Amino acid sequence: MMDDPQRCLHYLKLGYNTALAASDSAMMQRFAINIVGQYCIMGNVDSARVYYRRQTQLRSPDAIHDRYYALYNQGMIAEASGQVGQATHYYNAALDFAQAHQMDDKFVVQQHLALASIYLQHQCWVKAATHYRKSLGLAGRKQDLSLVSQAYKGLARIYRQQGNTAAADSCQRLALNIADSIYNRNRFSDASNKLFEYENTQHQKHIQALVNRNHTQWLIILTVLLAATAGIFFHIMLQRKNRNLLATQHLLVSKNEELIKSNQHNKLLLQQYAQATPRTKVDTHSERPLDPIATSQLLSRINLWSSRLTSSATASLVSINSHSWRIPSPSMSRA
């Protein structure tokens, strides 16, 4: 992206507008600082000054960084404007400020490289080499390969201008090796990120599959429990109904036996009555009829006994049927 300034500037402005929409002043200042540097690289000093004013109007929680970047960006604007004296003044002021406040070495290296670049453009080889060597030592201690590569490239240009071809080639090879190392490290980092994303995606799919399987298992368990509950309920209802039906059958059998015994008893009474009542002849062709009063009394007793048995059996059957064929409602069961 650094090879395409317009694209870099586009994304920096996009980030600035996003921070502006979120009212994040600290993040707006960070993007404004980088936009100023990008405009200076492109040579657009007026736009750089506009974003520099926005940068100074914003405040971040770290006042030391605010002051450092204010000096640094003033130096970049002066350098882009061709004011070399002011540029070196602001760069040296930023360097002294970073060292005085014991800021991270990367800020010190940043100013050494900026000063070395100015001295290199104006063929101040000794001063440029001095700043490149200082930045090389600090960047090597920080293991910042990108800054180390810049320092070696600058030293290679200086040695080549001074006619020291061997030293120039050596620094150039070191710069190229470091560039290859940075490229390989970036590729390894990209591969690691892609592998992490792939593993994360696979884990998410596996987790989702487990969740879906658990939901299915719970649904099956609930269905089985509901079916078992319904089966137990109907089994209990059928058992109750069967018990009532068996009780009705036993009652019908007992009543039937009582009716049979009653009929046998009636027949026995009739036989006893017939044996106890004498017969007299009126003539040779006819017999004297039975006593009508005694006969009516015997029939009334038989009818009374039969009606009592019949009414008792009927009442029992009605009562049992009303209880056996009716499934109690939930309200009656609770009652």
Q: What is the predicted pLDDT for the residue at 87?
A: 92
What CA–CA distances, in Å, run from 237 to 240, 318, 330? 5, 21, 12
Whether 46 and 142 share a structural domain: yes
Whether 296 and 244 share a structural domain: yes
Q: What is the predicted pLDDT for the residue at 312?
A: 62
Whether 19 and 147 share a structural domain: yes
Answer whether residue 191 is part of any domain: yes
Rounded CA-CA distance 85/51 in Å is: 23
Measured at the CA of 271, the angle between CA 267 and CA 274, to 5 degrees, comes to 135
pTM of the model: 0.54
Rounded CA-CA distance 226/213 in Å is: 20
Domain that holds residue 123: 5-203
Answer whether residue 19 is part of any domain: yes
Q: What residues contact 245, with CB distance under 8 A and at least 6 apart? A: 324
Answer whether residue 210 is part of any domain: no
Tens of pLDDT along 126-158?
998 899 889 888 877 767 778 888 888 888 888
Q: What is the predicted pLDDT for the residue at 106?
A: 86
Answer whether residue 211 is part of any domain: no
To which residue do tokens 């750089």 refer?
48
Whether 10 and 44 share a structural domain: yes
What CA–CA distances, in Å, run from 135 to 32, 34, 94, 127? 26, 21, 15, 12
Q: What is the predicted pLDDT for the residue at 283?
A: 44
Answer whether residue 215 is part of any domain: no
Q: What is the predicted pLDDT for the residue at 331?
A: 41
Q: What is the predicted pLDDT for the residue at 313?
A: 57
Residue 108's domain is classified under what CATH number? 1.25.40.10
Answer whether residue 208 is part of any domain: no
Q: What is the predicted pLDDT for the residue at 218?
A: 92
Measured at the CA of 32, the angle between CA 97 and CA 12, to 5 degrees, comes to 130
Q: What is the predicted pLDDT for the residue at 248?
A: 83
Domains identified in the chain, total number: 2
Whether 100 and 135 share a structural domain: yes
Q: What residues in the chain have per-residue pLDDT under 70?
A: 1-3, 142, 277-335
Q: What residues contact 47, with CB distance under 8 A and at least 6 apart? A: 39
N- to C-terminal Cα separation, the chain? 82
Q: What is the predicted pLDDT for the residue at 41?
A: 87
Q: Which of 167, 188, 203 is the last residue in one of the domains? A: 203
To which residue do tokens 């005085």 refer?
100
